[in-house]
Chain A
Amino acid sequence: MNAGVRSLRTRLAVVLATIVAVVLLANAAWLVLSARQRLRGRLETSASLFASLATGPVCSAYDAYFESGYFKFRQVVRDLLATAADVTRLEIVDVEGRVLFDSARLDDGASGGASLGRLDPVRREAARRLEPTTLRGRNAEGDSLDIVTPWVEDWGRHRLSVVYHVSYGKLNAEYRRYARATLALTAVSIVLAALFGLALARRLTRPLARLTDGAREIAQGRFGGRLDVRTGDELQTVAEAFNEMAARLQTTRAERERLIGELERRNAELERFTYTVSHDLRSPLVTVRGFVDLLEKDVAAAASERAAADFARIRGATSTMEKLLRELLELSRVGRVMNPPERVSLDELAQQATALLHERLRAAHVRVDVQPGLGFVLGDRTRLLEVFQNLIENAVKFRSGQGEPVVEVGSRLGPDGPVVTVRDNGVGIDPRYHDRVFALFERLDPRVEGTGVGLALVKRIVEVHGGRVWVESEGAGQGSTFCFSLPAAP
């Protein structure tokens, strides 16, 4: 997991939680405000109803008992007020706005009526009217509501009105409880939403983190890993595209490395070639010129014996040069100029090579045994013949002085198919030099004639045919076995 994905996850969680919080808060605000509206409306309706129902009995009771039986009147008022919890106080006024009775001073008795004063102008005006009037205002306790209801007697006579004081106190308390409960519920919901959002964000970003890790792997050059994201959504598509890219990169890199390797091999060969032109081809020239110059002196001094030896050296140097040039040309043709591939019997080739080398083999007293069953390959017959020729010639060159030199051409089954072997009982090769023997112009023994091209040519031909060539030898005096494997013909 890393910082980038973590911050993305946090952002996602925060956005989710914020959205949920805003929605829930808006919902709560709406609920609370509409509840307030609804509660007030209900209160006002019931207060109005109460006012219209209570006005008659109150005023009748006032007329009947205020003067003569205050105790009874007081009881009526108390009973009425007890039925309406929100109506806290009522006043009985005449149409001039004089207060005749105030329930707040219920216990003062009938005597207190004269000292109750007058209503303020607005209420006085309402007291005169024949319809109930609702007056909204504010007092020390907050919003207030007064309902002024006229007492219309028979024949429309209107002497008295009743002012009801409605309190929001109880309603406000209920409303606050409701608001608190709603807000608490909302807060809990927001917290739950935030937790849910975090969990969801984590769930959503987990494959993203895997993608990131995978990308980093690739950035560091490890193309082997594959992403296993099975979310069934766009992330899976991304992961699949990603895997495809990794696979492509892997192939591309393998191909590039192969090409680089190839290029490096070619370069090394070219370097050797340049080196040879500057050194090996110059070398016989130094000999030729050196001995020609010496000969001049020898002839002048009539040293004929030395002259003959010098002539031999010159001849040797020129033929070395000629051979070098011919073999270089030959090597450069392999892979460039090819005969069309055909099905070739390796048995036939081995026999043919032995026949071609007949003279040399006889002169060196070397016996060549070819065991049949070498198989068939698809390739350039002429070139493959050169492989056998060069390997047998090589064995002849490096025969040891002791015993009868024998070259055995045979085959065995290797891990990648049949392997052709050319075994000799010659001088052998130190394992240190096993790789170098196939290098161009590499000569391990300066006493043995040769230009160092033969085995390089063998290697080139075998590799051009998609095969492999190597040497096995325990060391000096142990003989050598040159082995090559070629893709078998169908």
Chain B
Amino acid sequence: MSEPEDLPVLLIEDNPDHVELIRRAFSDRETPVALSVARHGEEALDYLFRRGEYRDPGRSPRPRLILLDLRLPRVDGLEVLGEIKSSPELRAIPTVVLTTSESEHDMTRACALHANSYLVKPVEFDRFEALIGSLESYWLGLNRQPGDGGRRAV
């Protein structure tokens, strides 16, 4: 799975079932994705700022895309988002909120913190798959970002 051309994606998600669903949805797509999972906000920040067990940059490649759940243990998803977007090094990384919360408050806050997109997890798996598919083709396919090096998915 971790071949050199796999695109690194960081998934910040505490529910292992959802991790599995997202993993499977990605596995059906054509873009090879190297999915790293952080199970709480603190772990996500350790990964992104290369602290603790992620001190080795080999273990924490810069993700091309961050998928962020909001309700996380320890450090809340919105806090993680704030940290990412206030770091000059990280703020260019597309950060997509992927959550079950449809709360107006969360959307407003996420928007204010410059989330690149706000997506609500659909209940039906077909739509879940379609959503991951759109995510992949847009953010990993069409979207260009600084530091791409001209490398693009199919």
Measured CB to CB, the residues of A under 8 A from B are: 274-275, 278-280, 282-287, 289-294, 313, 316-317, 433, 441-447
Contact = CB atoms under 8 A, between A and B. Distances in A.
A81 to B, nearest CB: 119
5 contacts: A280-B71, A282-B123, A289-B124, A445-B73, A446-B15
B100 A282 contact: yes
Given A286-B100, A289-B125, A279 B71 contact: yes
Chain B contact-residue range equals 20 to 34
Chain A to chain B: the 3 pairs with minimum beta-carbon distance, closest first: A293-B125, A287-B17, A446-B14
Most B-side CB within 10 Å, residue of A283, A290, A294, A313: A290
A443 B76 CA distance: 11
A409 B100 CA distance: 40
A242 to B, nearest CB: 46
Contact of A294 (B24, B100, B123): B24
B74 interface: yes
Interface string B15-55: 11110110010000000000000011000000000000000
Given A279-B99, A290-B125, 4 more contacts: A286-B100, A292-B125, A294-B24, A443-B73
Nearest to A292: B125
B121 interface: yes
A292 B24 CA distance: 13
Contacts of B72: 446
A246 B126 CA distance: 67
Given A286-B123, A294-B125, A444-B74, A275 B18 contact: no
Contacts of B74: 433, 444
A279 B70 contact: yes
Nearest to A436: B74
Interface of B: 14-18, 20-21, 24, 39-40, 70-74, 99-103, 121-126, 128
Contact of B39 (A279, A285, A291, A447): A447
A293 B123 CA distance: 10
A293 B100 contact: no
Contact of B40 (A292, A294, A446): A446
Nearest to B43: A446
A278 B125 contact: no
A287 B18 contact: yes
A447 B128 CA distance: 24
Nearest to A294: B125
B71 A446 contact: no
B102 to A, nearest CB: 6
Contact of A287 (B15, B40, B73): B15
Contacts of A433: 74
A446 B73 contact: yes
A274 B71 CA distance: 13
Contacts of A283: 15, 18, 100
B102 A278 contact: yes
B103 A286 contact: no
A324 to B, nearest CB: 13
Given A275-B103, A282-B100, A317 B123 contact: no
Contacts of A293: 124-126
